[in-house]
Amino acid sequence: MTAGSKGGGSGVAAAKAAAAGPRTVLITGVSRGLGRALALELARRGHAVVGCGRSADHVRSLQAEIATPARHFLTVADVRSDSNMAELAKAVVEKKQVPDIIVNNAGTINKNNKTWSVPAEEFDTVVDTNIKGTANVLRHFIPLMIEKKHGIIVNLSSGWGRSAAAEVAPYCASKWAIEGLTRSLAKELPPGLAAIALSPGVVNTDMLNSCFGSSAALYQSTEQWAPKAATMILSLTLDDNGSSLTV
């Protein structure tokens, strides 16, 4: 297991990513924030995006904006629902769009609060989305990748999955869980597959705004982040299996 940013220089990484040719990338939480920005960037580069989000309006908005919409499969589905993920997996097989790369991006955060003051329902939502939602995706999509004998799995972690902060204990706990889950998964995968825990860095999203308030505007936008993230994700290899990396 390694930690840190993936080396090699952005120019070299971009060249390697481009040389590998078009890929099909599954992105959960595709309709907002990091997921939306990454989907638009990947589509602009000629890759096919399979994406799901909970809001039909947001999914339709992305469909209207994304390059070459007919190439992609964007749908309403909730990672918290195991049956939703089973249906999504069945659909991608029928559409012959089994992903080469999975980006488990869907996530949420609790409102700033002392651990003992976080309502049970709110704590459950964080765990159900960030941990169990990721597991639901893996349960139904890893067998498809095993059948293809190749695949890269990217589980979005956080700086707070490797450190901690006050008043976001449920979120920190969920991202520490993603780090552990990914390292265990990496030991289980057969040849041809790899799992990586990827921290996006600090990006101005609704979730960051929830924690930082107006200070979130001081950080990079999703549009600034997406090209770097896309290049890095596309350049991941089997040698990165079990790594904890940062964009």
Residue 3, pLDDT score: 62
Alpha helices in the chain (DSSP H): 10-19, 33-44, 56-65, 82-94, 120-127, 133-148, 169-188, 206-212, 222-234
DSSP 206-243: HHHHHHHGGGGGGSBPHHHHHHHHHHHHHT--GGGTT-
Sketch out the chain's domains with CATH numbers: 24-246 (3.40.50.720)
- Span 155-197, pLDDT tens digits: 999 999 999 999 999 999 999 999 999 999 999 999 999 999 9
Q: Which tens digit of pLDDT belongs to each residue from 57-75? A: 999 999 999 999 999 999 9
pLDDT average, residue stretch 92-117: 98
The reported pLDDT for the residue numbered 13 is: 66
Q: What is the pLDDT of residue 208?
A: 77
**Residue whose entry in the numeric block shows the structure tokens 């012959």:** 96
Strands across the sheet with 193-199, in order?
3-4, 244-246, 193-199, 151-156, 101-104, 24-28, 48-53, 73-76
Q: Is residue 20 very low, low, confident or very high in pLDDT (cuts 50, 70, 90)?
A: confident
219 catalytic per annotation: no
Q: Residue range 193-215: average pLDDT?
A: 90
pLDDT, residue 159, reads: 96
**pLDDT score, position 12:** 72
Tell me the β-bridge partners of 201.
Answer: none
- pLDDT band (50, 70, 90) for residue 1: very low
User: Would you state the pLDDT for residue 131?
Assistant: 98
Active-site residue (options: 73, 141, 171, 176): 171
Assessment of whether the complete model's pTM goes beyond 0.85: yes
Q: What is the mean pLDDT of the chain?
A: 94
Distance CA 79, CA 209 (A): 23
